[in-house]
Amino acid sequence: MHRTPAEGFCAADIAAQVGATLIGAPDRCVDRVASITSAGARDLAYFSGPRRGVNPKVCSAGIIVCRTQDTGLMPPQATLILVPNPQIAFIDIVAWMWPRQDAYLGIDRSAIIHPTAQLAENVAVGPLVVIGADCHIAAGAVIGSGSVLGQNVCIGVDTELVARVTVLDDCVIGARCLIAPGVVIGSDGFGLASDHGRWRRVPQLGRVIIGDDVDIGANTTIDRGTLDDTRIADGVKLDNLIQIAHNVEIGAHSAIAGCAGLAGSSIVGKHCTLGGGVGLAGHLTLADGVHITGMSMVTRSIHQPGVYSAGTPIDTNTRWHKNAARFKQLDRIAHRVQALELRFNAAKNPDEEDV
């Protein structure tokens, strides 16, 4: 990050901001942040523990945020800010250095706002925004350029819709949420019924209810419920390009990486993580504290916390094709092994009767 303030930030002030112990020059100043591998003398970096390929001894950062147990790994010239969790401290430091600035001031003249919509005095509305009837926009909210709000939408305090966000009728978004460009909230779920060989749409009459402090990445879609609501609890973090189907429930403080897909009526517990490309079949439940590694397909409910994986690791193309062919033979091989075991046991104990 290369946003330079009028004056640099000195180590003593940074340490005081996060309640940290300072080792080194308290008047050393930085005006940028950078990674531990690329930082220079005017940069602040953080080091959260040994990692392959990273040697902090050769780092040129002016200030490094690190743990007490890692001070011996640090370069001698650096000023150190000692904290229990360097990554969290780094987040707080950056937020203090460069506080959020509203994208807009006031209401742009090109915005179309229904007369029955209720906006708090300090709501910011960007160009080409459309806000429908009976919407409620709370104080400090930012509705970014090109966003569209249907009827009776509620947006909580200090929530930001960055740009081109669509929130359809009756949906509710809590406080301090960050909704990235291209997100669609409240589109119809994939509800179909077969009527003598022809598909008919099932009415999608539920809503999407999103709690407080939720982040939703670019081009993620969250479908409304069929009859009941789709629910995203407080503190959930969703990456880009995720599909959340109708009537899904995601528990508090769970996080889902990009390109995951959650089928209808699946339930994810609290403090779960789903890696990139994970797929959840419909109508299943993940308990609290379940962690699914990337590209896994989940086809059954998981009732115990822990780490779960599925899928075949990458291999050379030739070996992968051979193993894939053998995989199709596993059932036949299992029956043959079972038969051989029975014959072996019978030969070993000829006088015993089969049970």
**How far from chain centre, in Å, is Cα 16?**
30
What is the arrangement of strands in the sheet containing 79-82, beginning at the earlier edge strand? 21-23, 79-82, 63-66, 43-46, 32-33
Q: Which residues contact 264 (CB under 8 A, 6 or more apart)?
A: 189, 190, 191, 226, 245, 246, 247, 248, 282, 283
Let me know if 109 is exposed, middle or buried by CB neighbors in 10 A (0-12, 13-18, 19+): exposed
- In angstroms, the CA 295 to CA 311 distance is 7
Whether 214 and 236 have beta carbons less than 8 Å apart is answered as yes
Whether 146 and 164 have beta carbons less than 8 Å apart is answered as yes
- In angstroms, the CA 133 to CA 151 distance is 5
- Residue 170, amino acid: D
For residue 63, the cross-strand partners are: 44, 79
Whether 17 and 96 have beta carbons less than 8 Å apart is answered as yes
C-alpha dihedral (170, 174, 175, 178), degrees to nearest 10? -90
> Got the DSSP string for 47-88?
--S--TT--GGG---SEEEE-GGGGGGS-TTSEEEE-S-HHH
Let me know if 332 is exposed, middle or buried by CB neighbors in 10 A (0-12, 13-18, 19+): exposed
Catalytic residues: 246
Whether 44 and 61 have beta carbons less than 8 Å apart is answered as yes
3-state secondary structure at position 147: coil
